Amino acid sequence: MTEAPPRKLTRALRMIRSLFLVLIGLWAVARACGQVPDVTAPQHPNPQTPTTDATTMFPHLSEDRFWISAQDNAIWQANPSFNASYSGPNSFAEHYDKALGNVFTVYAGLQLNRSTAVEVDAETAAGLGLSSALGLAGFTNLDAVRDPTLTATPYLARIFVDQYFGFDREKDTPGRGPLSMFAELPKHRIEVRFGKFSITDFFDTNAGRQR
């Protein structure tokens, strides 16, 4: 049996989450009041990448050794009632249902030197999916908690060491982000990550690029 995290950690994450949501609201109001689109100018949307061009509330320094950011995903879903020829305990329920899932993550990182970094992320997840996330092979909300006995107690989502070994001086500039502390990397390299993380953090991210 593992002990639950201290109550102080739970309260701290809840305070950070509340502050984060307040800042998002203030930023959205300021952005709406301070920007008036020019309908006469041609619109040429620029593609965004998750790390370099994405809009953020506060800019991140490209050369700073530290990284801290937060993300809150709230997904509300509902389905109408429908006729089903068969329904079992693990089937998608045929009656009307609604669900709200929420995942809040705090990302933190420290670059130890030019080729080594440490990433630590704390997370809290709450809210069951439709029909308790049962009955669909490919569920429509991957953030849904599938175990109804789980609570919103914070847990350590990721902790890993990121180490690369470069083989030339030619550089790539992928930009820093929540899961990578390096603003630039050797074009030819071996990169090793050791610790706790999800394979989808780095593979099959559906970024729209050909592989």
Mean pLDDT, the chain cut into blocks of 10 residues (211 residues total): 58 70 64 51 44 56 78 90 88 90 90 92 87 79 74 88 90 85 89 90 62 39
Residue 181 contacts residue 162 (beta carbons within 8 Å): yes
- Looking at the domain assignment, is residue 209 inside a domain? no
Q: What residue ranges in the chain does DSSP mark as E strands?
A: 66-79, 97-113, 116-126, 155-166, 171-172, 185-186, 189-196
75-117 residue pLDDT tens = 899 999 999 888 888 888 899 999 888 889 999 999 999 899 9
Position 193 scores a pLDDT of 93
Task: Look up the pTM and report it.
Answer: 0.64
Structural domain count, the chain:
1
Residue 139 contacts residue 92 (beta carbons within 8 Å): no
Measured distance CA(95)–CA(135) in Å, rounded: 13
- Looking at the domain assignment, is residue 43 inside a domain? no
- Looking at the domain assignment, is residue 40 inside a domain? no
137-153 residue pLDDT tens = 777 777 777 777 777 78
- Looking at the domain assignment, is residue 48 inside a domain? no
- Looking at the domain assignment, is residue 137 inside a domain? yes
Find the helix or strand (DSSP H, E) in which 9 lies.
helix 7-34
- Looking at the domain assignment, is residue 206 inside a domain? no
- Looking at the domain assignment, is residue 70 inside a domain? yes
Position 50 scores a pLDDT of 46
Which range of residues forms the domain containing residue 106? 7-32+57-82+92-201
- Looking at the domain assignment, is residue 47 inside a domain? no
Position 6 scores a pLDDT of 59
